[in-house]
A and B are shown apart, each in its own frame.
Chain A
Amino acid sequence: MPDTASPSPVAVAPVLITLQLNGEPTSVAVPPHWTLLELLRYGLGLTGTKQGCDKGDCGTCTVRIDGEPQLACLTLALEVRDRHVETVEGLGVGGEPHPLQEAFARVGAAQCGFCTPGMLMSASAYVDNLTLQDDPVVRREDIAAALAGNLCRCTGYTKILQAVEEVAQVVLDRQREIEESTAEEP
């Protein structure tokens, strides 16, 4: 029998929400059943965030919500009301690529590039959370754990881990320099 009982999804009244999107205040009307992924891709035209499975398995839709890597396909758009959302489009600053983007490009960490935006968002959260106090050493297994939710089908992860490792090392080295220069002051 045809399914005629379900209500027609043609007209669903949207809800107006505001959020901080890549550092900009943003107001947008969103159908209440939409995920954040739908909002980003269809509502806002930010197609850098990818849809690989739409059920939270692949990590290609990873964005950062209040700094934490999250899956946009498992997040209802209404949940990000008044929160900070960062997507791959917001990674670089002033036209300059983020160090992770530069390293990924240089070492060949992207082949088809489809997992790359999500991978970069997970990696940026990992790098941003590095502190000398917590752990003074960059470890491959820590990076692997931080990226374990992001599948890549092209690279075998080798060059991705290498790129993140290089950037993480620079971050810790810089922290060490700052620490040493402040320690030298009387």
Chain B
Amino acid sequence: MTLSSKTENSSQGRPYTVVGARHGKPDALDAMAGLAKYTDDIALPRMLFARILRSPHAHARIVSIDTSAAEAMEGVHAVVVGEEMPTRYGVIPWTPDEQALATDKVRYVGDAVAAVAAISEDVAIAACKRIVVQYEVLEALTSPEAALANPQNKIHEANKHGNITKQVQLAFGDVDAQLAVADLVIEGHYQYHGSTHAALEPHCCVAHVDGRGLLTVWSATQVPHYLHRELAKVLEVPTHKIRVIQPQVGGAFGGKSEPFDLEFVAAKLAMKTGRPVKCLYTREEVFLAHRGRHPFDMHYTTGFTKDGKILAVDAKSVLDGGAYSSFGLVTTYYSGQLLGSPYTFASYRFDSTRVYTNKPACGPKRGHGSVQPRFAIEVQLDKAARALKLDPIDLRRRNFIGENTTTINEFHIGSNGFLECLELVEKASDWKARYGKLGRGRGLGVAGSTYISGTNYCIYPTDLPQSGVQICLDRSGRVRIFAGTSDIGQGSSTMLAVVAAEELGVHLDDVRVIAADSDLCPVDLGSYSSRVTLMAGNACLSAARDLASKVRQAVAKKWGCEKRDVILADRRAQRLDDPDVFIDITDAFILAEVEFGTMGSTGSYQTPREDVHGEYRGGTIGASPAYSFTAHIAEVSVDEETGDVRVENIWCAHDCGRALSPVLVEGQIEGSVYMGFGETVMEHHHVMASGLRTDGARRDTGPGKDGLLAHSSLLDYRMPTTLDTPNLYAGIVEKPDPRGPFGAKEAGEGPLHSVVPAICNAIFDAIGVRIDSLPVAPEKILAGLRAQRSGGQSC
């Protein structure tokens, strides 16, 4: 099902030929045949294998490290410890609090301490066991309450404010005054648990130094450019002596969007040994590397008029950050900044505090920082709709912010298909006939959301383009694209091919994309914040239009007509007014090369510099060139005997601006909905925590378990299988945004957000029990039912 806009390629005055067609990925059969080369598929002559020794303690001072027994082992070529690359780094340049290998302290169970390169993994593992580390164990702070209650026990000594890594307080309008006049005030306490990406490909890195001293690093990363910069900094090697290549990546979802210990370790060991070195994480190490969804503790107060208009939102959140900052500065802003649409608020304020704890670091997972607050606000809206006896879809429509407008926190909204999204899921789910009428035990729930299509500002301050693309045409009628973009499975290389094929009149198969190789490609900042289609797509469009213009000009000269009379489509250059007059595209490219010389062009994208952000400290974070919109309806059935919740169907409609590749957009929607479903009802990145409770009592996990992962396998971390996953309906809404290439916005993250509250709202519709603390679990359902029987919950 698609709600579509008019389809015409405005630059050539003809219908689209490639954009919007139902194509797969041009290179899909490589994956099918096992030919796609992932990092772990790389085998170089004389390659060594590295393993990393990790801390068994959640919080401890390193007294000494003795590597002599390991170094003496046959088959061991080198051992590396933190003193050899002590420079602190972090993906956010303002918070460099990580080291490749710890020098002074370990801060979570799994923190890297030393590494070995040996002739086989087996030898490297055996050698790690011979490294002797003496620790002075410190009190572990494994919950935000404990970390806040013990500011003198600093997890990072250099941190200014105890264990607080970031606090953001922003206010827009007079919240207290609006709450005072509100007809209805809803107060809610919400807890969002941690979850992780669990990409099926474990992190992997291969490094090699060639005869000229060039260090090449192949890594399963989604940010080769940031990796390049941090490698240079930590290894103290200039960037021009480093080449970063991202091979095929087996899923990332935000879990590979910053440098990790294995990249520094493999590179350093390759430099020390003069041989290629591979380091592959075990599945347990992937869970320890984490950078997943932050646990949030949220208090929300929302004021409404009696006809359901939102007067005030007051949000207070504590974020459990884990041992390092990661993207946490941004997460803390996103926890409030991305709530300003699709609804209009008369007033809004938020106060978010991110806290260090002795656990694997949290970071950006698909829908970074904004899935948790979206859960809270959308359940608040559902509670208000109940209290005001309004249809919850209707309540959302009444608060619609509109398009070509500005949010209360001063972000510019361009196109906005939220109402169409609501309409699509309302019809598809037969909401009007079924909501509230399914009988006890079955229910429907709705929720809506928004997300960014990239961020207006780079992670580090620069005026350089956010994305660059280079295109060459060759004499066989083919198009070669060089782009720094990271295809992590989402299809960014296909996106570039679609954009170029559309403009240059070739088929997808005629386009070859060479991506993510710092020696060959111009810089793109990476696959994060849903930025690639809009930013790299625009850069590609610019380069392709430049070439198309020259090709049309050369053909027009030959035909003695105007350039505008020549269109490129379907492997031909043809007369716009007479399709019987045409030449093969190969001949057109040759004409152009005769006229202009070798055919190449570059395109770059920089965010618009006008009206790009709010005029206040932090007003740049959350500002995006364009915003996507999403609505979800979930249908659940609840077994009141067992507390088991079965999610039967999820309908999702997503406004992606323009679906350049509808098959791939559907895939992003389905994958997002699946991932949101998984973290709502099944998944939990659970670290066992004792620590102090607010009442001063100890919550004991048992001896030796504090800070340990409760799951270190894909069996214990329960991600949905084919048998668990509900029926997913992906609806595309197209509201082209003038800032996107052909109007395209994002599709990769937005469709995750509101599935979470939609499921919780459906549970309430089914049994009248609110699940305000995730994940949904049978014991919580049963407790809610018990409270209901004793007259507890009402809305």
Q: Bound state CA distance, A110 and B200, in angstroms? A: 13
Q: Is B582 an interface residue when CB atoms closer than 8 A count as contact?
A: no
Q: Bound state CA distance, A71 and B120, in angstroms? A: 23
Q: Mark B35-49, 1 if CB is under 8 A from A, else 0.
A: 111101101000000
Q: What are the residues of chain A within 8 A of B197 when measuring CB–CB?
A: 153
A92: nearest residue on chain B (CB-CB)?
B33
Q: What are the residues of chain A within 8 A of B131 when measuring CB–CB?
A: 2
Q: Is B371 an interface residue when CB atoms closer than 8 A count as contact?
A: no
Q: What are the residues of chain A within 8 A of B29 when measuring CB–CB?
A: 97, 101, 105
Q: Is B457 an interface residue when CB atoms closer than 8 A count as contact?
A: no
Flag if A6 contacts B129 (CB, 8 Å): yes
Q: Is B397 an interface residue when CB atoms closer than 8 A count as contact?
A: no
Q: Is B20 an interface residue when CB atoms closer than 8 A count as contact?
A: no
- Chain A's nearest CB lies how many Å from the CB of B218? 14
Flag if B714 contacts A52 (CB, 8 Å): yes
Q: Is B73 an interface residue when CB atoms closer than 8 A count as contact?
A: yes
B729: nearest residue on chain A (CB-CB)?
A158
Q: Bound state CA distance, A175 and B33, in angstroms? A: 27
Flag if A111 contacts B489 (CB, 8 Å): yes
Q: What are the residues of chain A within 8 A of B280 when measuring CB–CB?
A: 51
Q: Bound state CA distance, A92 and B723, in angstroms? A: 28
User: Which of A2, A47, A116, A157 is within 8 Å of B69, CB to CB?
Assistant: A2
Flag if B714 contacts A53 (CB, 8 Å): yes
Q: What are the residues of chain B within 8 A of A105 when measuring CB–CB?
A: 24-25, 28-29, 32
A53: nearest residue on chain B (CB-CB)?
B283
Q: Bound state CA distance, A50 and B200, in angstroms? A: 9
Most chain A CB within 10 A, of B129, B491, B671, is at B671
Flag if A158 contacts B728 (CB, 8 Å): yes
Supposing A3-B129, A6-B126 touch, asked if A111 and B714 sit within 8 A by C-beta, the answer is: no
Q: Is B697 an interface residue when CB atoms closer than 8 A count as contact?
A: no
Q: What are the residues of chain B within 8 A of A167 when measuring CB–CB?
A: none
Most chain A CB within 10 A, of B38, B74, B488, B667, is at B667
Within 140-186 of A, Cβ neighbours of B (below 8 Å) are at 143-145, 147-161
Flag if B251 contacts A156 (CB, 8 Å): no
Flag if B74 contacts A155 (CB, 8 Å): no
Q: Is B719 an interface residue when CB atoms closer than 8 A count as contact?
A: yes
Flag if B250 contacts A2 (CB, 8 Å): no
User: Which of A6, A48, A52, A144 is within 8 Å of B34, CB to CB?
Assistant: A48
Q: Mark B661-704, 1 if CB is under 8 A from A, else 0.
A: 00110110011011100000000000000000000000000000
User: Which of A48, A120, A154 is within 8 Å of B35, CB to CB?
Assistant: A48
A158: nearest residue on chain B (CB-CB)?
B670
Task: Kindly state the interface size class of chain A when it binds its partner.
Answer: 35 or more
Q: Is B95 an interface residue when CB atoms closer than 8 A count as contact?
A: no
Q: Is A89 an interface residue when CB atoms closer than 8 A count as contact?
A: yes
Q: What are the residues of chain A within 8 A of B491 when measuring CB–CB?
A: 111
Q: Bound state CA distance, A161 and B29, in angstroms? A: 18
Q: Bound state CA distance, A89 and B75, in angstroms? A: 33
Flag if B69 contacts A4 (CB, 8 Å): yes
- Chain B's nearest CB lies how many Å from the CB of A147? 5
Supposing A60-B200, A101-B33 touch, asked if A106 and B24 sit within 8 A by C-beta, the answer is: yes
Q: What are the residues of chain A within 8 A of B31 when measuring CB–CB?
A: 110, 113, 116-117
Q: Is A14 an interface residue when CB atoms closer than 8 A count as contact?
A: no
Flag if A46 contacts B667 (CB, 8 Å): no
Flag if B671 contacts A154 (CB, 8 Å): yes
Flag if A151 contacts B489 (CB, 8 Å): no
Q: What are the residues of chain A within 8 A of B362 when measuring CB–CB?
A: none
Q: What are the residues of chain B within 8 A of A114 when measuring CB–CB?
A: 38, 199-201, 250-251, 489
Flag if A104 contacts B28 (CB, 8 Å): yes
Interface size (B, Cβ < 8 Å)?
A: 69
- Chain A's nearest CB lies how many Å from the CB of B127? 10
Q: What are the residues of chain A within 8 A of B282 when measuring CB–CB?
A: 54
Within 95-133 of B, Cβ neighbours of A (below 8 Å) are at 119-120, 122-123, 126, 129-132
Flag if A9 contacts B33 (CB, 8 Å): no
Q: Is A35 an interface residue when CB atoms closer than 8 A count as contact?
A: no
Flag if A153 contacts B251 (CB, 8 Å): yes
Q: Is A108 an interface residue when CB atoms closer than 8 A count as contact?
A: yes
A149: nearest residue on chain B (CB-CB)?
B721
Flag if A8 contacts B251 (CB, 8 Å): no
- Chain B's nearest CB lies how many Å from the CB of A175? 24
- Chain B's nearest CB lies how many Å from the CB of A116? 5
Flag if A116 contacts B32 (CB, 8 Å): yes
Q: Is A130 an interface residue when CB atoms closer than 8 A count as contact?
A: no
B252: nearest residue on chain A (CB-CB)?
A112
Flag if A153 contacts B670 (CB, 8 Å): no
Q: Bound state CA distance, A155 and B200, in angstroms? A: 12
Q: Bound state CA distance, A148 and B37, in angstroms? A: 26
Flag if B249 contacts A97 (CB, 8 Å): no
Q: Is A70 an interface residue when CB atoms closer than 8 A count as contact?
A: no
Supposing A8-B126, A112-B200, A116-B32 touch, asked if A159 and B667 sit within 8 A by C-beta, the answer is: yes
B730: nearest residue on chain A (CB-CB)?
A158
Q: Is B466 an interface residue when CB atoms closer than 8 A count as contact?
A: no
Q: Bound state CA distance, A53 and B282, in angstroms? A: 7
Q: Is B722 an interface residue when CB atoms closer than 8 A count as contact?
A: yes
Q: Is B190 an interface residue when CB atoms closer than 8 A count as contact?
A: no
Flag if B674 contacts A155 (CB, 8 Å): yes
Within 41-68 of B, Cβ neighbours of A (below 8 Å) are at 41, 43, 66
User: Which of A9, A149, A157, A161 is within 8 Å of B126, CB to CB?
Assistant: A9
Flag if A50 contacts B132 (CB, 8 Å): no
Flag if B126 contacts A88 (CB, 8 Å): no
Flag if B32 contacts A120 (CB, 8 Å): yes
Flag if B132 contacts A2 (CB, 8 Å): yes
Q: What are the residues of chain B within 8 A of A157 when measuring CB–CB?
A: 674, 722, 725
Supposing A97-B32, A111-B671, A116-B31 touch, asked if A52 and B666 sit within 8 A by C-beta, the answer is: no
Most chain A CB within 10 A, of B33, B129, B198, is at B33
Within 42-64 of A, Cβ neighbours of B (below 8 Å) are at 42, 45-55, 57-58, 60
Flag if A89 contacts B38 (CB, 8 Å): no
Q: Bound state CA distance, A110 and B34, in angstroms? A: 12
Flag if A88 contacts B33 (CB, 8 Å): yes
A108: nearest residue on chain B (CB-CB)?
B663
Flag if B32 contacts A51 (CB, 8 Å): no
Flag if A112 contacts B714 (CB, 8 Å): no
Q: What are the residues of chain A within 8 A of B721 when measuring CB–CB?
A: 148-149, 151
- Chain A's nearest CB lies how many Å from the CB of B124? 10
Flag if B671 contacts A52 (CB, 8 Å): no
User: Which of A46, A112, A144 is within 8 Å of B201, CB to CB?
Assistant: A112
Q: Bound state CA distance, A98 and B129, in angstroms? A: 46
Q: Is B1 an interface residue when CB atoms closer than 8 A count as contact?
A: no
Within 22-45 of A, Cβ neighbours of B (below 8 Å) are at 41-42, 45
Q: Is A85 an interface residue when CB atoms closer than 8 A count as contact?
A: no
Q: Bound state CA distance, A54 and B204, in angstroms? A: 14
Q: Is B202 an interface residue when CB atoms closer than 8 A count as contact?
A: yes
Q: Is A13 an interface residue when CB atoms closer than 8 A count as contact?
A: no
- Chain A's nearest CB lies how many Å from the CB of B50? 15
Q: Is A115 an interface residue when CB atoms closer than 8 A count as contact?
A: yes
Q: Bound state CA distance, A55 and B41, in angstroms? A: 19
User: Which of B25, B75, B248, B675 is within 8 Å of A108, CB to CB?
Assistant: B25
Q: Is B158 an interface residue when CB atoms closer than 8 A count as contact?
A: no
Supposing A8-B75, A104-B32, A108-B25 touch, asked if A155 and B671 sit within 8 A by C-beta, the answer is: yes
Most chain B CB within 10 A, of A9, A53, A57, A120, is at A9
16 pairs from A and B in contact (CB 8 Å cutoff): A8-B123, A10-B119, A54-B282, A57-B714, A89-B33, A97-B29, A104-B28, A105-B32, A110-B25, A111-B667, A120-B32, A145-B723, A148-B722, A153-B253, A153-B675, A158-B730
Given A112-B488, A117-B31, A159-B666, 15 new contacts (CB under 8 A)? A1-B132, A9-B122, A50-B250, A51-B40, A92-B33, A105-B24, A108-B24, A108-B664, A114-B199, A150-B722, A155-B674, A156-B725, A156-B728, A157-B674, A159-B663
Q: B residues engaging A (CB < 8 A)?
A: 24-25, 28-38, 40-41, 43, 66, 69-70, 73-75, 119-120, 122-123, 126, 129-132, 197-202, 248-253, 280, 282-283, 488-491, 663-664, 666-667, 670-671, 673-675, 713-715, 719, 721-723, 725, 728, 730
4 nearest A-B pairs in the assembled complex, by CB-CB distance? A48-B34, A112-B489, A113-B31, A114-B250
